[in-house]
Amino acid sequence: MIDIEHEPERAQLESRGVFDWPVWEKEVSCFDWTYDVTESCYILAGEVTVTPAGGEPVRIVAGDFVTFPAGLSCVWDITLPIRKHYQFG
């Protein structure tokens, strides 16, 4: 299950060290993805719809803190270029 926190407090993000995490960027595109390990990320810009295999689509936008569980297979459909801080594990 994809866990989304909408607009978390900056203090929460800082306590997790989010702003020290690497940044990943991707243009408008659509691709399959499987998470080997859990990923936590904070969306800085953009919009994506992530559809888990056999599940309902989830819309993710700038300002969302998202956790993708290990083992999740999904399709990423990026509709506005994505920029995010991310951490695996």
Residue 26 CB coordination number (10 Å): 14
**Average model confidence (pLDDT) across the chain:** 98
Number of domains in the chain: 1
Q: Which residues of 51-82 are buried (b: 16+ CB within 10 A; e: fewer)?
A: ebeeeeebebbeebbbebeeebebebbbeeeb
Please write the tens of the pLDDT for every residue from 59-88: 999 999 999 999 999 999 999 999 999 999
- Please give the helix or strand (H or E) that residue 10 lies within, else none: helix 10-16
CATH number of the domain that 28 lies in?
Answer: 2.60.120.10
Type of residue numbered 34? T
79: containing domain:
3-88
pTM of the model: 0.96
Banded pLDDT at 34 (limits 50, 70, 90): very high
Please write the tens of the pLDDT for every residue from 7-27: 999 999 999 999 999 999 999
